[in-house]
Chains A and B, each alone.
Chain A
Amino acid sequence: MNAQARKEALRFLFTPIVDRLGYKFTPAEEDADFLLEQVAGLEAQTGIPYCPCRARTRDRAENMRIVCPCIPFHRAHYDAMRRCWCGLFVHKDVTDPDKLRQIPESKVENR
């Protein structure tokens, strides 16, 4: 499967999942395309569509918490930012994702 086809397939697979979780693909098309390409690239390289902005370690259980879409495993954090860490998904009501801030997990928990 070529990279473009896999990107489209991942978009197709992720859309209903994130929809039920209250999220959508970021309306920043260029960012969405870049991020999806990275996810597809990581999947091609490792067999698993990991988050492009989170680190993999030697711990499988930890790694499984950053497989895209990883919203279920970081709900409070992402809900506070109104988008996921890498920015591929935003809350459904977000129209201008550039106004959102990246907030470290540690600062969300301390609130």
Chain B
Amino acid sequence: MEHAAEAIELSKLAGGIPAAVFPLGLPVLLIRLGAEVFALENRCAHLGCPLAGGRLDGYLLQCPCHDWRFDIRDGRFIDAPELAVKTYAAEIKDGKVFVRIPL
């Protein structure tokens, strides 16, 4: 079961700038790249630092705390594929971004 939770209006989501949202109270980071929106847990797999404020380079997001880098497409940690941040499916409907949260 999952729930498509409304997260933000698409017009408020600037391209290439990670935005912290809280669908169903969960810390989620949205990143808009072109026509796509990626959603991942806004918490580093290392020590839990918020990834918002991290540096984005293409599909790679670097945590601001200790520079751990994640691929925003699948959440994978670049230096050890066994580690990852959670990702969520994001969809755009009626000018709004919805995040699919497993229940």
Contact = CB atoms under 8 A, between A and B. Distances in A.
Judged by CB atoms under 8 Å, the answer to whether A and B touch is yes
Interface in B46-103: 46-48, 65-67, 77, 79-80, 82-83
Interface residues of A, number: 14
A75 to B, nearest CB: 7
Contacts of B31: none
Among A21, A67, A72, the one with the most B-chain Cβ atoms within 10 Å of its Cβ is A72
Contact of A17 (B45, B65, B66): B45
Contact of A13 (B47, B65, B67, B79): B47
B35 to A, nearest CB: 33
**Chain B binding site: helix, strand, loop or mixed by DSSP?**
loop
A67 B65 CA distance: 10
B46 A61 contact: no
A13 B83 contact: no
Contacts of A21: 80, 82-83
Contacts of A75: 80
Given A13-B47, A17-B46, A72-B80, 12 more contacts: A13-B48, A17-B45, A17-B83, A20-B80, A48-B65, A48-B66, A49-B47, A60-B67, A64-B67, A71-B80, A72-B77, A72-B83
Interface of A: 13, 17, 20-21, 48-49, 60-61, 64, 67, 71-73, 75
